[in-house]
Amino acid sequence: MTTAVGSARLPADAAVPDPRRWWALGAVATAQLMIGLDLTIMNIALPSVQRSLHMSDDSRQWVITIFALGYGGLLLLGGRLSDLIGRRRSLMIGLTGFALASALGGAAPNTATMLTGRALQGVFGALLTPAVLATLAATFPTPAERGKAFGIYGTAMGSSSGLGVVLGGVLTDYLDWRWCMFVNLPIAMAAGAGVLYAVRPAQRTTGLRVDIGGALLATTGMMALVYGFARAEPDGWSAASTVGPLAAGVVLLAVFVGVQAKVRNPLLPLRVVLNRRRGGSYLAVLSLAVGMFAALFFLTFYLQNVLGYSPIKAGLAFLPLTAGLMIGVRAVSKLLARAPVRALLCPGLLTIAAGLGLLGLVRVDSGYWLHVMPVFLLVGLGTGWVLVTANSTATLNAGADTSVAGASVMTSQQIGASLGTALLSTIAGTAATRYLHGHPAAGPKAAAVHGFNVASLGAAAALCVAAVVVYLVTGPKQP
């Protein structure tokens, strides 16, 4: 018989809920919102950053890439360290470090200081996120409240990308690009105060040791993959700067899996990913990120370069994404305790695929309200639906593996985002070049839109296939 997502054995003290649990939720959701903002807030500010710090074109992209490297590469290690030192301490160290790194980047007088600040943001963010998920899982063990809590968390996490674009445009246009970094200081202070007030110190996992060899393999392997995907767009898939890191990443992660099967205290116990529901959740999030981040990337260029929107107007145009996400979160939160995992993950993926399918039909003269806004709504709806389900499922009944199980969700998202942006951008660029050669009178805008169409339809098809695979993986049989 299929078990619902929210069905769980409750701990003995679950009958006496923590009276400060909703304050704790607000604190950790704010912390994760801050990290999510920083994944996109610097995108619109990049031209201003480049001019201010006299960056070269090659250095400019590292403002985005180096954050992703630190964050995506260290999440698994951050999950284990959270178990080792305690989630409350991890939250405070992560928040303090993230705030100081943001201050360093905001005050940067040169490129090297700026990139150091962004790298440190990624490092401390990788410690913070697993502790956030572990806190949620421990604070809300009952099915009814768990669905609501993860729904609120999912809203904060999912809406952060769109809000980051809006906030980046507003701060850059009306203040200065440095405020895209400084804005994290009051957010971190508010979240830290909430953690100190509401998050109870928890007993640390006894007998836990950090798998140093596994940590090195996982970190270098993940960083190699993220770097390789990041270089695919500017350098091409056949370039040594792309092939080398990708090949190294695959080899290192393959060795990592072999090591995890043998060591006594693995960084990522294979039982975490071999659980069919968790494994299906990770695959769903990876697939979601491929589609979602590619859609955001394409639509950012479409709105500004084709429709001629200003940075602020383009940022505001993303708001329906947040609206759709909030609708999806609200709807799925009520179903977590009653519906099977695959009945929640698969419709979410297909909804994102529908949005990408509509993006594949957009033309140069398409209007925002009839052609672009529905894409945002559908992608947001599906994203909220999948993220809440995946995060709740990954941490359900995970016991001592809760932090690393939650960290694996964000790791999947980082891989998917890097893969989707690199792969689909390459497809779009190739299709645009071929279209311009075949239709020289069409112009560069028409060629770019054609490239977006081809890549979006390909992503929609991939998400449909992913939905089928997730349905089969998360079947009724137990692992």
Domain that holds residue 234: 211-266
Separation of alpha carbons 160 and 183, rounded Å: 14
The answer to whether residues 61 and 74 belong to one domain is yes
The answer to whether residues 56 and 136 belong to one domain is yes
Instruction: State the amino acid at position 166 in one-letter form.
Output: V
Q: Does 13 map to a domain?
A: no
Report the pLDDT value the prediction gives residue 165, as an integer from 0 to 100: 75
Q: Does 7 map to a domain?
A: no
Neighbouring CB atoms inside 10 A of 240's CB total: 9
Q: Does 240 map to a domain?
A: yes
The answer to whether residues 254 and 277 belong to one domain is no
The answer to whether residues 464 and 411 belong to one domain is yes
Q: Does 206 map to a domain?
A: no
The answer to whether residues 122 and 174 belong to one domain is yes
The answer to whether residues 71 and 181 belong to one domain is yes
Burial of 26 (0-12, 13-18, 19+ CB in 10 A): middle
Report the pLDDT value the prediction gives residue 9, as an integer from 0 to 100: 44
Beta strands in 127-241 (DSSP E): none
Q: CA geometry: angle at 417 spanning 232 and 4, to 5°?
A: 150
CB 336 within 8 A of CB 392: yes
Q: Does 377 map to a domain?
A: yes
The answer to whether residues 247 and 335 belong to one domain is no
Separation of alpha carbons 68 and 285, rounded Å: 17
Q: Does 6 map to a domain?
A: no
Instruction: State the amino acid at position 327 in one-letter form.
Output: I
The answer to whether residues 110 and 40 belong to one domain is yes
Neighbouring CB atoms inside 10 A of 23's CB total: 16
Separation of alpha carbons 358 and 362, rounded Å: 7
Q: At what angle do helices 143-174 and 319-333 cross, to 10 degrees?
A: 170
- For the chain, residues with pLDDT lower than 50 are 1-14, 478-479
The answer to whether residues 155 and 288 belong to one domain is no
Q: Does 8 map to a domain?
A: no
Report the pLDDT value the prediction gives residue 155, as an integer from 0 to 100: 75
Report the pLDDT value the prediction gives residue 350, as an integer from 0 to 100: 96
The answer to whether residues 307 and 250 belong to one domain is no
Neighbouring CB atoms inside 10 A of 200's CB total: 13
Separation of alpha carbons 310 and 304, rounded Å: 6
The answer to whether residues 166 and 131 belong to one domain is yes
